[in-house]
Structure 1
Protein backbone atom coordinates (compact mmCIF):
# COMPACT_ATOMS: atom_id res chain seq x y z
CA UNK A 1 0.00 0.00 0.00
CA UNK A 2 2.89 2.35 0.76
CA UNK A 3 4.33 1.65 -2.68
CA UNK A 4 0.98 2.24 -4.39
CA UNK A 5 0.50 5.56 -2.59
CA UNK A 6 4.04 6.62 -3.48
CA UNK A 7 3.47 5.80 -7.15
CA UNK A 8 0.13 7.64 -7.13
CA UNK A 9 1.78 10.66 -5.51
CA UNK A 10 4.56 10.67 -8.10
CA UNK A 11 1.98 10.47 -10.89
CA UNK A 12 0.10 13.47 -9.48
CA UNK A 13 3.36 15.38 -9.17
CA UNK A 14 4.23 14.51 -12.77
CA UNK A 15 0.97 15.57 -14.36
CA UNK A 16 0.21 18.69 -12.39
CA UNK A 17 -1.65 19.92 -9.32
CA UNK A 18 -4.64 18.08 -7.88
CA UNK A 19 -7.14 20.31 -9.68
CA UNK A 20 -5.49 19.53 -13.01
CA UNK A 21 -5.61 15.81 -12.25
CA UNK A 22 -9.31 16.05 -11.38
CA UNK A 23 -9.94 17.90 -14.64
CA UNK A 24 -8.23 15.10 -16.57
CA UNK A 25 -10.29 12.44 -14.80
CA UNK A 26 -13.59 14.24 -15.40
CA UNK A 27 -13.03 14.80 -19.13
CA UNK A 28 -14.33 11.35 -20.29
CA UNK A 29 -17.60 12.03 -18.44
CA UNK A 30 -18.15 15.19 -20.48
CA UNK A 31 -17.50 13.32 -23.75
CA UNK A 32 -19.02 9.85 -23.35
CA UNK A 33 -18.08 7.11 -25.81
CA UNK A 34 -16.17 3.85 -25.73
CA UNK A 35 -13.21 5.30 -27.61
CA UNK A 36 -12.86 8.14 -25.10
CA UNK A 37 -12.89 5.64 -22.25
CA UNK A 38 -10.46 3.04 -23.60
CA UNK A 39 -8.55 4.96 -26.26
CA UNK A 40 -7.36 8.08 -24.45
CA UNK A 41 -5.09 8.81 -21.52
CA UNK A 42 -7.96 10.50 -19.66
CA UNK A 43 -10.21 7.47 -20.05
CA UNK A 44 -7.55 5.01 -18.91
CA UNK A 45 -6.76 7.20 -15.90
CA UNK A 46 -10.43 7.34 -14.89
CA UNK A 47 -10.85 3.56 -15.32
CA UNK A 48 -7.76 3.03 -13.16
CA UNK A 49 -9.19 5.16 -10.35
CA UNK A 50 -12.60 3.50 -10.65
CA UNK A 51 -10.97 0.04 -10.48
CA UNK A 52 -9.29 0.75 -7.14
CA UNK A 53 -12.17 -0.70 -5.06
CA UNK A 54 -12.12 -3.83 -7.22
CA UNK A 55 -8.39 -4.15 -6.66
CA UNK A 56 -8.91 -3.85 -2.90
CA UNK A 57 -11.64 -6.49 -3.07
CA UNK A 58 -9.33 -8.80 -5.01
CA UNK A 59 -6.64 -8.41 -2.35
CA UNK A 60 -9.14 -9.23 0.40
CA UNK A 61 -10.51 -12.28 -1.45
CA UNK A 62 -7.05 -13.69 -2.21
CA UNK A 63 -5.81 -13.10 1.33
CA UNK A 64 -8.90 -14.68 2.87
CA UNK A 65 -8.57 -17.76 0.67
CA UNK A 66 -4.89 -18.15 1.52
CA UNK A 67 -5.45 -17.70 5.25
CA UNK A 68 -8.18 -20.35 5.13
CA UNK A 69 -5.67 -22.93 3.90
CA UNK A 70 -2.96 -21.81 6.30
CA UNK A 71 -0.69 -19.87 3.95
CA UNK A 72 1.73 -17.60 5.80
CA UNK A 73 2.09 -13.96 4.71
CA UNK A 74 -1.28 -14.16 2.94
CA UNK A 75 -1.84 -10.42 2.97
CA UNK A 76 1.66 -9.57 1.77
CA UNK A 77 1.46 -12.02 -1.12
CA UNK A 78 -2.01 -10.86 -2.14
CA UNK A 79 -1.12 -7.16 -1.96
CA UNK A 80 1.99 -7.74 -4.03
CA UNK A 81 0.20 -9.71 -6.75
CA UNK A 82 -2.70 -7.31 -7.15
CA UNK A 83 -0.40 -4.31 -6.83
CA UNK A 84 1.85 -5.51 -9.65
CA UNK A 85 -1.13 -5.86 -11.98
CA UNK A 86 -2.92 -2.70 -10.87
CA UNK A 87 0.23 -0.59 -10.94
CA UNK A 88 1.57 -1.84 -14.28
CA UNK A 89 -1.31 -2.59 -16.66
CA UNK A 90 -2.62 1.03 -16.88
CA UNK A 91 0.83 2.38 -17.77
CA UNK A 92 1.40 -0.27 -20.43
CA UNK A 93 -2.12 0.41 -21.72
CA UNK A 94 -1.33 4.11 -22.05
CA UNK A 95 1.95 3.66 -23.92
CA UNK A 96 0.25 1.19 -26.28
CA UNK A 97 -2.48 3.67 -27.25
CA UNK A 98 -2.34 4.24 -31.02
CA UNK A 99 -1.53 7.63 -32.48
CA UNK A 100 -3.43 9.44 -35.23
CA UNK A 101 -1.38 7.75 -37.97
CA UNK A 102 -1.63 4.22 -36.56
CA UNK A 103 -1.65 1.59 -39.28
CA UNK A 104 -0.54 4.13 -41.89
CA UNK A 105 2.70 5.60 -40.62
CA UNK A 106 5.49 2.98 -40.61
CA UNK A 107 7.18 2.12 -37.34
CA UNK A 108 9.96 4.43 -36.22
CA UNK A 109 12.99 3.45 -34.17
CA UNK A 110 15.45 5.53 -32.16
CA UNK A 111 18.51 3.52 -31.14
CA UNK A 112 20.86 6.34 -30.13
CA UNK A 113 21.03 6.41 -26.31
CA UNK A 114 20.08 9.68 -24.57
CA UNK A 115 19.18 11.50 -27.80
CA UNK A 116 15.43 11.45 -27.15
CA UNK A 117 16.02 12.17 -23.47
CA UNK A 118 17.98 15.30 -24.39
CA UNK A 119 15.13 16.42 -26.65
CA UNK A 120 12.55 15.86 -23.91
CA UNK A 121 14.58 17.86 -21.41
CA UNK A 122 15.08 20.64 -23.95
CA UNK A 123 11.31 20.82 -24.51
CA UNK A 124 10.65 20.88 -20.77
CA UNK A 125 8.41 17.78 -20.93
CA UNK A 126 9.63 16.36 -17.64
CA UNK A 127 6.24 14.70 -17.07
CA UNK A 128 7.10 12.30 -19.89
CA UNK A 129 10.29 11.26 -18.10
CA UNK A 130 8.43 10.70 -14.83
CA UNK A 131 5.77 8.72 -16.68
CA UNK A 132 8.39 6.44 -18.22
CA UNK A 133 9.98 5.91 -14.81
CA UNK A 134 6.61 4.81 -13.41
CA UNK A 135 5.74 2.24 -16.11
CA UNK A 136 7.36 -0.70 -14.29
CA UNK A 137 7.79 0.94 -10.87
CA UNK A 138 5.08 -1.22 -9.29
CA UNK A 139 6.73 -4.31 -10.72
CA UNK A 140 10.11 -3.29 -9.34
CA UNK A 141 8.71 -2.39 -5.93
CA UNK A 142 6.46 -5.41 -5.37
CA UNK A 143 7.92 -8.31 -7.36
CA UNK A 144 10.79 -8.91 -4.88
CA UNK A 145 8.25 -9.00 -2.05
CA UNK A 146 6.23 -11.70 -3.80
CA UNK A 147 8.83 -13.79 -5.59
CA UNK A 148 12.01 -14.76 -3.75
CA UNK A 149 13.76 -15.47 -7.05
CA UNK A 150 13.36 -11.77 -7.97
CA UNK A 151 14.72 -10.43 -4.67
CA UNK A 152 17.70 -8.90 -6.41
CA UNK A 153 18.12 -5.50 -8.03
CA UNK A 154 20.02 -6.88 -11.08
CA UNK A 155 17.24 -9.41 -11.70
CA UNK A 156 14.60 -6.70 -11.46
CA UNK A 157 16.59 -4.60 -13.92
CA UNK A 158 16.82 -7.53 -16.33
CA UNK A 159 13.08 -8.26 -16.02
CA UNK A 160 12.07 -4.63 -16.51
CA UNK A 161 14.42 -4.26 -19.48
CA UNK A 162 12.97 -7.38 -21.11
CA UNK A 163 9.39 -6.21 -20.56
CA UNK A 164 10.22 -2.76 -21.91
CA UNK A 165 11.86 -4.20 -25.02
CA UNK A 166 8.74 -6.29 -25.65
CA UNK A 167 6.51 -3.21 -25.35
CA UNK A 168 8.70 -1.10 -27.64
CA UNK A 169 8.86 -3.95 -30.17
CA UNK A 170 5.07 -4.28 -30.08
CA UNK A 171 4.73 -0.55 -30.77
CA UNK A 172 6.90 -0.95 -33.86
CA UNK A 173 5.32 -4.16 -35.16
CA UNK A 174 1.74 -2.95 -34.65
CA UNK A 175 2.52 0.42 -36.29
CA UNK A 176 0.96 2.45 -33.49
CA UNK A 177 2.44 5.73 -34.76
CA UNK A 178 4.86 5.80 -31.87
CA UNK A 179 8.64 5.92 -31.70
CA UNK A 180 10.29 2.78 -30.31
CA UNK A 181 13.14 4.37 -28.40
CA UNK A 182 16.07 2.93 -26.51
CA UNK A 183 15.70 5.82 -24.07
CA UNK A 184 12.22 4.56 -23.13
CA UNK A 185 13.78 1.19 -22.30
CA UNK A 186 16.45 2.88 -20.19
CA UNK A 187 13.92 4.99 -18.29
CA UNK A 188 11.49 2.10 -17.75
CA UNK A 189 14.32 -0.04 -16.44
CA UNK A 190 15.70 2.71 -14.22
CA UNK A 191 12.26 3.30 -12.72
CA UNK A 192 11.91 -0.38 -11.82
CA UNK A 193 15.41 -0.43 -10.33
CA UNK A 194 14.77 2.66 -8.19
CA UNK A 195 11.48 1.19 -6.98
CA UNK A 196 13.24 -2.06 -6.07
CA UNK A 197 15.79 -0.11 -4.05
CA UNK A 198 12.94 1.71 -2.30
CA UNK A 199 11.41 -1.58 -1.12
CA UNK A 200 14.72 -3.34 -0.50
CA UNK A 201 14.54 -3.07 3.29
CA UNK A 202 11.26 -5.03 3.28
CA UNK A 203 12.14 -7.81 0.87
CA UNK A 204 15.56 -8.28 2.45
CA UNK A 205 13.90 -8.51 5.87
CA UNK A 206 11.45 -11.08 4.51
CA UNK A 207 14.26 -13.16 3.04
CA UNK A 208 16.20 -13.00 6.32
CA UNK A 209 13.16 -14.06 8.33
CA UNK A 210 12.58 -16.99 5.99
CA UNK A 211 16.19 -18.15 6.29
CA UNK A 212 16.04 -17.92 10.10
CA UNK A 213 13.08 -20.30 10.40
CA UNK A 214 14.01 -23.54 12.21
CA UNK A 215 14.30 -26.52 9.94
CA UNK A 216 12.80 -29.86 10.84
CA UNK A 217 15.24 -32.47 12.12
CA UNK A 218 16.19 -35.19 9.64
CA UNK A 219 14.45 -38.52 10.09
CA UNK A 220 16.91 -41.31 11.01
CA UNK A 221 17.43 -43.88 8.32
CA UNK A 222 16.73 -41.48 5.44
Structure 2
Protein backbone atom coordinates (compact mmCIF):
# COMPACT_ATOMS: atom_id res chain seq x y z
CA UNK A 1 0.00 0.00 0.00
CA UNK A 2 1.22 3.48 -0.81
CA UNK A 3 2.35 5.57 2.17
CA UNK A 4 0.06 8.43 1.14
CA UNK A 5 -2.93 6.09 0.96
CA UNK A 6 -2.11 4.70 4.36
CA UNK A 7 -1.80 8.15 5.91
CA UNK A 8 -5.16 9.21 4.47
CA UNK A 9 -6.81 6.04 5.78
CA UNK A 10 -5.25 6.63 9.19
CA UNK A 11 -6.40 10.24 9.30
CA UNK A 12 -9.98 9.44 8.33
CA UNK A 13 -11.14 7.72 11.57
CA UNK A 14 -9.96 10.56 13.88
CA UNK A 15 -11.71 13.09 11.66
CA UNK A 16 -14.92 11.04 11.74
CA UNK A 17 -14.59 10.63 15.50
CA UNK A 18 -14.18 14.39 15.91
CA UNK A 19 -17.36 15.01 13.95
CA UNK A 20 -19.28 12.50 16.05
CA UNK A 21 -18.01 14.11 19.25
CA UNK A 22 -18.98 17.60 18.03
CA UNK A 23 -22.45 16.41 17.01
CA UNK A 24 -22.84 14.71 20.39
CA UNK A 25 -21.83 17.86 22.25
CA UNK A 26 -24.23 19.95 20.16
CA UNK A 27 -27.07 17.52 20.87
CA UNK A 28 -26.20 17.57 24.57
CA UNK A 29 -26.22 21.38 24.59
CA UNK A 30 -29.62 21.50 22.89
CA UNK A 31 -31.03 18.89 25.27
CA UNK A 32 -29.70 20.82 28.27
CA UNK A 33 -31.25 24.07 27.01
CA UNK A 34 -34.60 22.34 26.45
CA UNK A 35 -34.45 20.78 29.92
CA UNK A 36 -33.76 24.18 31.49
CA UNK A 37 -36.62 25.80 29.57
CA UNK A 38 -39.07 22.93 29.89
CA UNK A 39 -41.19 24.77 32.50
CA UNK A 40 -42.03 27.89 30.45
CA UNK A 41 -42.48 25.84 27.26
CA UNK A 42 -44.90 23.40 28.88
CA UNK A 43 -47.03 26.31 30.07
CA UNK A 44 -48.16 26.80 26.47
CA UNK A 45 -48.60 23.11 25.65
CA UNK A 46 -52.08 22.58 27.22
CA UNK A 47 -53.50 25.64 25.43
CA UNK A 48 -52.09 24.49 22.10
CA UNK A 49 -53.47 21.00 22.54
CA UNK A 50 -56.86 22.49 23.35
CA UNK A 51 -56.87 24.40 20.06
CA UNK A 52 -56.31 27.84 21.60
CA UNK A 53 -53.89 29.25 19.05
CA UNK A 54 -53.28 32.64 20.64
CA UNK A 55 -51.03 31.21 23.40
CA UNK A 56 -49.21 29.19 20.72
CA UNK A 57 -48.49 31.97 18.26
CA UNK A 58 -49.06 35.06 20.39
CA UNK A 59 -46.48 34.43 23.13
CA UNK A 60 -42.73 33.88 23.07
CA UNK A 61 -43.01 30.53 24.87
CA UNK A 62 -45.70 29.36 22.46
CA UNK A 63 -43.69 30.28 19.37
CA UNK A 64 -40.60 28.48 20.70
CA UNK A 65 -42.72 25.43 21.50
CA UNK A 66 -44.31 25.37 18.04
CA UNK A 67 -40.86 25.75 16.46
CA UNK A 68 -39.68 22.64 18.27
CA UNK A 69 -42.88 20.72 17.50
CA UNK A 70 -42.62 21.45 13.78
CA UNK A 71 -38.92 20.55 13.60
CA UNK A 72 -39.61 16.96 12.45
CA UNK A 73 -41.82 18.35 9.66
CA UNK A 74 -39.01 20.70 8.59
CA UNK A 75 -36.58 17.78 8.48
CA UNK A 76 -39.09 15.80 6.42
CA UNK A 77 -39.32 18.67 3.92
CA UNK A 78 -35.51 18.80 3.72
CA UNK A 79 -35.40 15.05 3.12
CA UNK A 80 -38.03 15.27 0.36
CA UNK A 81 -36.18 18.10 -1.40
CA UNK A 82 -32.85 16.31 -1.09
CA UNK A 83 -34.31 13.09 -2.47
CA UNK A 84 -35.80 14.94 -5.42
CA UNK A 85 -32.48 16.61 -6.16
CA UNK A 86 -30.54 13.37 -5.86
CA UNK A 87 -32.94 11.72 -8.30
CA UNK A 88 -32.20 14.53 -10.74
CA UNK A 89 -28.47 13.98 -10.23
CA UNK A 90 -27.83 17.32 -8.49
CA UNK A 91 -24.66 17.42 -6.40
CA UNK A 92 -24.73 18.54 -2.74
CA UNK A 93 -28.45 17.73 -2.58
CA UNK A 94 -28.55 17.26 1.18
CA UNK A 95 -26.48 20.32 1.98
CA UNK A 96 -28.57 22.57 -0.24
CA UNK A 97 -31.88 21.24 1.09
CA UNK A 98 -30.89 21.45 4.75
CA UNK A 99 -29.61 24.99 4.25
CA UNK A 100 -32.85 26.13 2.62
CA UNK A 101 -35.05 24.63 5.31
CA UNK A 102 -32.71 25.78 8.08
CA UNK A 103 -32.80 29.38 6.90
CA UNK A 104 -36.59 29.44 6.98
CA UNK A 105 -37.28 27.34 10.06
CA UNK A 106 -34.60 29.07 12.09
CA UNK A 107 -35.45 32.65 11.09
CA UNK A 108 -39.23 32.98 10.67
CA UNK A 109 -40.08 32.21 14.35
CA UNK A 110 -37.66 34.87 15.64
CA UNK A 111 -38.92 37.46 13.17
CA UNK A 112 -42.48 36.56 14.21
CA UNK A 113 -41.56 37.20 17.86
CA UNK A 114 -40.00 40.57 17.06
CA UNK A 115 -43.20 41.57 15.26
CA UNK A 116 -45.52 40.72 18.15
CA UNK A 117 -47.44 43.88 19.14
CA UNK A 118 -47.17 45.34 22.61
CA UNK A 119 -50.03 46.35 24.86
CA UNK A 120 -50.20 49.84 23.35
CA UNK A 121 -50.03 48.82 19.70
CA UNK A 122 -51.83 51.29 17.46
CA UNK A 123 -52.20 53.77 20.33
CA UNK A 124 -48.70 54.55 21.60
CA UNK A 125 -46.69 56.70 19.16
CA UNK A 126 -43.81 54.85 17.46
CA UNK A 127 -40.46 55.26 19.17
CA UNK A 128 -36.97 55.34 17.70
CA UNK A 129 -33.61 55.00 19.43
CA UNK A 130 -30.72 56.04 17.18
CA UNK A 131 -27.97 56.42 19.80
CA UNK A 132 -25.63 53.41 19.51
CA UNK A 133 -25.08 51.27 22.64
CA UNK A 134 -27.63 53.20 24.72
CA UNK A 135 -30.18 50.38 24.74
CA UNK A 136 -27.57 47.64 24.94
CA UNK A 137 -27.24 47.87 28.72
CA UNK A 138 -31.00 47.54 29.20
CA UNK A 139 -31.43 44.38 27.10
CA UNK A 140 -30.29 41.97 29.79
CA UNK A 141 -28.89 38.49 29.10
CA UNK A 142 -32.17 37.13 27.71
CA UNK A 143 -32.77 40.11 25.44
CA UNK A 144 -29.17 40.12 24.23
CA UNK A 145 -29.21 36.39 23.52
CA UNK A 146 -32.54 36.64 21.72
CA UNK A 147 -31.33 39.47 19.50
CA UNK A 148 -28.20 37.51 18.63
CA UNK A 149 -30.37 34.60 17.51
CA UNK A 150 -32.85 36.52 15.34
CA UNK A 151 -30.82 36.17 12.14
CA UNK A 152 -28.30 33.57 13.33
CA UNK A 153 -29.87 30.81 11.23
CA UNK A 154 -29.83 33.08 8.19
CA UNK A 155 -26.17 33.91 8.74
CA UNK A 156 -25.31 30.25 9.30
CA UNK A 157 -27.16 28.69 6.35
CA UNK A 158 -27.21 31.44 3.69
CA UNK A 159 -23.50 31.11 2.75
CA UNK A 160 -23.90 27.33 2.71
CA UNK A 161 -26.71 27.54 0.19
CA UNK A 162 -25.54 30.53 -1.87
CA UNK A 163 -22.10 31.74 -2.89
CA UNK A 164 -23.08 35.43 -2.97
CA UNK A 165 -23.21 36.00 0.83
CA UNK A 166 -20.19 33.76 1.54
CA UNK A 167 -18.01 36.37 3.25
CA UNK A 168 -18.12 38.02 6.67
CA UNK A 169 -18.83 41.57 5.37
CA UNK A 170 -21.66 40.30 3.18
CA UNK A 171 -23.22 38.32 6.02
CA UNK A 172 -22.95 41.44 8.17
CA UNK A 173 -24.69 43.47 5.47
CA UNK A 174 -27.36 40.78 5.07
CA UNK A 175 -28.09 40.63 8.79
CA UNK A 176 -28.10 44.42 9.15
CA UNK A 177 -30.33 44.89 6.11
CA UNK A 178 -32.89 42.35 7.31
CA UNK A 179 -32.83 43.88 10.79
CA UNK A 180 -33.40 47.37 9.39
CA UNK A 181 -36.45 46.05 7.54
CA UNK A 182 -37.84 44.55 10.75
CA UNK A 183 -37.21 47.71 12.78
CA UNK A 184 -38.81 49.83 10.05
CA UNK A 185 -41.86 47.56 10.00
CA UNK A 186 -42.17 47.87 13.78
CA UNK A 187 -42.17 51.65 13.43
CA UNK A 188 -44.59 51.84 10.49
CA UNK A 189 -47.06 49.36 11.98
CA UNK A 190 -46.94 51.06 15.40
CA UNK A 191 -46.45 47.83 17.30
CA UNK A 192 -45.57 49.55 20.58
CA UNK A 193 -41.95 48.50 20.21
CA UNK A 194 -38.81 50.62 20.15
CA UNK A 195 -37.04 50.67 16.78
CA UNK A 196 -33.46 50.70 18.05
CA UNK A 197 -30.14 50.89 16.25
CA UNK A 198 -28.75 48.58 18.95
CA UNK A 199 -31.14 45.86 17.79
CA UNK A 200 -29.68 46.19 14.30
CA UNK A 201 -26.13 45.99 15.64
CA UNK A 202 -26.79 42.91 17.77
CA UNK A 203 -28.86 41.17 15.07
CA UNK A 204 -26.07 41.70 12.52
CA UNK A 205 -23.43 40.53 15.00
CA UNK A 206 -25.38 37.33 15.64
CA UNK A 207 -25.62 36.68 11.91
CA UNK A 208 -21.87 37.14 11.43
CA UNK A 209 -20.92 34.93 14.39
CA UNK A 210 -23.21 32.16 13.15
CA UNK A 211 -21.85 32.56 9.63
CA UNK A 212 -18.28 32.21 10.82
CA UNK A 213 -19.29 29.01 12.63
CA UNK A 214 -20.33 27.48 9.30
CA UNK A 215 -17.35 28.79 7.35
CA UNK A 216 -15.94 25.37 6.46
CA UNK A 217 -19.15 24.58 4.53
CA UNK A 218 -19.47 27.89 2.67
CA UNK A 219 -20.28 27.61 -1.00
CA UNK A 220 -17.88 28.87 -3.63
CA UNK A 221 -19.00 30.35 -7.00
CA UNK A 222 -17.57 27.48 -9.04
CA UNK A 223 -19.15 24.93 -6.73
CA UNK A 224 -22.54 26.65 -6.99
CA UNK A 225 -22.45 26.45 -10.78
CA UNK A 226 -21.53 22.76 -10.80
CA UNK A 227 -23.94 21.72 -8.03
CA UNK A 228 -26.99 23.05 -9.84
CA UNK A 229 -26.05 21.14 -13.00
CA UNK A 230 -27.41 17.57 -13.18
CA UNK A 231 -24.77 14.88 -13.29
CA UNK A 232 -24.44 13.14 -16.66
CA UNK A 233 -25.80 9.62 -16.71
CA UNK A 234 -23.40 7.12 -18.18
CA UNK A 235 -24.52 3.79 -19.54
CA UNK A 236 -22.99 0.74 -17.92
CA UNK A 237 -20.83 -1.39 -20.14
CA UNK A 238 -20.49 -5.11 -19.82
TM over 0.5: yes
- SS at 1:150's partner residue? coil
Determine the C-alpha separation between the residues in 2 that align with 1:37 and 1:165: 27
Aligned to 2:135: 116
Instruction: Tell me the equivalent position of 1:102.
Output: 121
Q: Deviations over 1:70-119 (max 9, x none)?
A: 10000000000000001101111111111111111111110000000023
Indicate which of 19, 28, 33 corresponds to 2:44.
28
Structure 2 spans left out of the alignment, 5+ residues: 1-21, 227-238
SS in 2 for 1:169: helix
Q: TM-score, normalised by structure 2?
A: 0.77
For 1:149, the equivalent position in structure 2 comes to 164
Rounded Cα–Cα distance in structure 1 between residues aligned with 2:195 and 2:186: 6
How far did 1:208 drift?
8.9
Give yes or no for the alignment of 1:130 onto 2:145: yes
Structure 1 residue matching 2:113: 3-state secondary structure:
helix
Runs of 4+ with deviation above 4 angstroms = 5-10, 17-20
Deviations 1:115-138 (A, max 9, x none): 000233xxxx21110110111111
Shift of 1:210: 3.2
* Deviations 1:143-168, CA, capped at 9 Å, x for gaps: 11100111111111111111000000
The whole-number CA distance in structure 1 between the counterparts of 2:28 and 2:167 is: 24
Please report how far the alpha carbon of residue 28 of structure 1 lies from its aligned counterpart in structure 2 after TM superposition: 1.5
Match runs of 1:47-196 below 5 Å: 47-120=66-139, 125-196=140-211
Structure whose CA Rg is larger? 2
The count of residues paired between Structure 1 and Structure 2 equals 200
Offset of residue 202 of structure 1: 2.1
Residue by residue, what CA displacement relative to the aligned partner does 1:14-43 show, whole Å, maximum 9, x if unpaired? xxx644411121112344522111111111
Check whether the contact 1:164–1:189 (CA below 8 A) recurs between aligned residues.
Answer: yes
Residue 163 of structure 2 contacts residue 221 of structure 2 at CA under 8 Å; is this kept in 1? no
Q: 1:173 to 1:8 in 2, by over 3 A?
A: farther
Instruction: Output the CA distance in 2 between the equivalents of 1:142 and 1:9.
Output: 20
TM-score, normalised relative to structure 1? 0.82
Q: Per chain length, whose mean CA-contact separation is higher, i.e. which structure has more relative contact order (CA < 8 Å, sep 6+)?
A: 1
Q: Distance in 1 between matches of 2:100 and 2:26?
A: 17
CA RMSD, 1 decimal: 2.5
Partner of 1:220: none
Equivalence for 1:216: none
